[in-house]
A and B are shown apart, each in its own frame.
Chain A
Amino acid sequence: MNARDTILDALRRNRPDPASHPLPPPVMLGDLDAGQARFVAGLRLLGGDLLERAPGEPLAAAIARRFPDARLICSAVPGVDGAVPVQDLPNAQAADPVDVAVVRAAFGIAETGSIFLSEAQLHLNALAHLAQHLVVLLDPAQLTANLHTAYQRPEFRTARYGVLMSGPSATADIQGVLIRGAQGVRSLSVCFDSL
């Protein structure tokens, strides 16, 4: 018998009685506030930040203000002056020199300050991880309250790669000291931008 059938056969022999272990119906628990204030509190708790724009200020100017030393900005959204379109990167490795990547999140989660990115937003998945800093556009209308409501979103059933990013990369593996900016992006800034 092959491995698959051996394992399935052993599980069928050994499992507890399925009738004694019914599946509870899906739940919608907890705070259902999907407001911006809650999102921003969650984002900051996990080390993320807001990128705020003066009225009428172009995104490129706000990015230049936040990252004055950035040499290579790569954008997955159109209309960022001076940015290389992500479509111009031939492969994942080409994203390594990127200082700032600009993307638009499909949605955000107020409970945790998380933003969702998939291949539909990124075009090149590695861009969100090889770049030094990440700027995320988020339509406040696309905020969802918590993880229960988030998992009803259609993106989880269509994306092949879908990441909830909650602040920048972080580690506390050396003597418990929390360090923001571990191996992925060193910072994550959310810029509210209605569509």
Chain B
Amino acid sequence: MKDKRIDHAGAAAAFIADAPHLAFHDERLWDMRQKRDAQMHLLPEWQELRTLASQIKEHALANLPDYLEQFEQNATRNGIHVHWARDGAEHNRIVAEILQARGATTLIKSKSMVTEECDMRPYLAARGITVTETDLGERIQQLDDQLPSHIVVPAVHKLTGDVARVFATHYGTDPNADDPRQLAEAQRQAARPVILHADAGMTGANFAVAETGTFVVCTNEGNADLSATVPGVHIATLGIERLVPRMSDLGVFVRMLSRSALGSPITQYTTHFRGPQDGGEMHVILVDNGRSARLGMADFWTSLKCIRCGACMNTCPVYRRSGGLSYGAVYSGPIGAIIDPTFNERKYSTLPFASTLNGSCTNVCPVRIDIHDQLYKWRRVLVDHHQMPFVKREIMHMAGRLMGQPRLYRAAIAGTETALGTLPRFALYNWLNPWGRHRELPHPVKETFHGWYRRNRANDGPGDSGKAGPEQAKDTGR
């Protein structure tokens, strides 16, 4: 388990160095956030919807085994084959078995984060099955052999020229074509024959309804509906946390999903699958892959409420300026930073630190996940588990000792002011001071606040910081 830590800061530095990509990425995601705000302001009931969504999800998670059984029973009654997968390997094996039993060698699929988690494509490729992503962004990422960089807009870190280069290599289009319309049309023309001749289709699912055995897929391009209705076999992969109890609950979630994600009132397609179409065959794979263990983590189980809208990513100043790929994980951004460590604590130990803890993610989350609190709690866990790089760990230990002893602290501060004023740059800005790599240290001051206070106010009454109780601290507005 000695996986290398993701160098988020290093990858982000490379992203920032590319000014045109950085500027577009930042603006595009902020635009999505602003469109989300505009939609939110149109609905006076928005905050009530968020509260309801949170309560419904928490209830569903607390009763998940029962709702899963109810879903299975209803789906089976409707003619759906229900499968269970403990992890990615088991999921991939089930998919391969379904396909091989039917002699299927071509699979078209719409976007599914769970199949990314399971790393399904290479597994099927090794067994002679050609998998074609049909979502435009996901297809661009597949052709470019990259993970999706955003859970809703997988290729948002690319500019038109990047897409033109990828399509020129794989579709033989003009590498200088810089019209997005032309490129989207190239994808339509390339995908259509593959869709028509595919042996099987695959989708993910946004929601599953226990009381009816329905699963719901929310998309915009029409590729998921093509993947599900053109071939005779439809396989849907669902994380087990997608369950909601009742059909009426969908009203709450569908009203918020696309508004939170893209700032549109609803996705172009909201499709409800309750059974196979005439002459067709339908499979649902319920995937755990760490979710049941996460449910037992007192501080982190509510991350399972996530409906994958991406609002936390769009609003995050760190994500917007570092790009999804810098997280080195299937899930990026704030939500990624709190769920990735449950998959691999060491590998993703840097991600909860990729945040300013400003709380914007929490404020936009449609299911009220306390994302920034969980980021903070992960930092504590990672320190307790010794998942901090050596220099950061030692500096924190020293700082902790220093701040716990007022006398020592004051002496050190006085010394620091002298040092800041007199030491040459090479002594202040080096590998022992990663904080100073992108920041200027504060200007030295002639006198500390404590020194000034002792000189001017020490005799005015209670106030020596050593005696100050919590009441005084509150009164001063700290």
Residues in chain A within 8 A of chain B (CB atoms): 2-4, 6-8, 10-18, 20-24, 26-27, 29-30, 42, 45-47, 92-93, 96, 111-112, 114, 119, 125-126, 128-130, 146-148, 150-152, 156-157, 159-177, 179, 181-185
Contact = CB atoms under 8 A, between A and B. Distances in A.
Given A12-B65, A13-B296, A16-B61, A128 B212 contact: no
Nearest to B90: A3
A165 B269 contact: yes
16 contacts: A3-B90, A7-B240, A10-B288, A10-B293, A11-B68, A45-B264, A46-B264, A119-B278, A130-B230, A160-B275, A161-B271, A166-B268, A171-B184, A173-B140, A176-B24, A184-B225
B373 interface: no
A11 B159 CA distance: 43
Contacts of A20: 62
B229 A42 contact: no
A185 B269 CA distance: 11
Interface of B: 24, 28, 31, 43-45, 48-49, 52, 55-56, 58-59, 61-65, 68-69, 78-79, 84-86, 90, 134-137, 140, 153-156, 158-160, 163, 180-181, 183-184, 187-188, 191-192, 196, 212, 214, 220-223, 225-226, 228-231, 240, 245-252, 254-255, 262, 264-278, 286, 288, 292-293, 295-296, 301
Given A8-B65, A45-B265, A119-B277, A16 B248 contact: no
Nearest to B249: A26
Given A8-B69, A15-B63, A147-B254, 20 more contacts: A10-B296, A11-B68, A20-B62, A21-B62, A23-B245, A27-B48, A45-B264, A126-B230, A129-B225, A148-B252, A151-B250, A160-B78, A160-B274, A161-B272, A162-B271, A164-B272, A166-B266, A166-B268, A170-B221, A175-B158
B310 to A, nearest CB: 13
B64 A15 contact: yes
Nearest to A163: B271
Contacts of B155: 173-174
Contacts of A22: 55, 59
B230 A14 contact: no
Given A6-B86, A46-B265, A161 B247 contact: no
Contacts, number: 262
B353 to A, nearest CB: 27
A47 to B, nearest CB: 8
A111 B265 contact: yes
A7 B86 CA distance: 7
Given A12-B65, A30-B43, A169-B222, A183 B134 contact: yes
Interface centre among A21, A30, A172, A173, by most chain B C-beta atoms within 10 angstroms, is: A173
A163 B293 contact: no
B313 to A, nearest CB: 15
A147 B90 CA distance: 37
A182 B220 contact: yes
Contact of B181 (A23, A26, A167, A177): A177
B153 A173 contact: yes
A117 B103 CA distance: 32
B323 to A, nearest CB: 15
A27 B272 CA distance: 20
B84 A4 contact: yes
B106 to A, nearest CB: 14
A112 B266 CA distance: 7
Nearest to B167: A174
Contacts of A173: 135-137, 140, 153-156, 184, 221
A182 B223 contact: yes
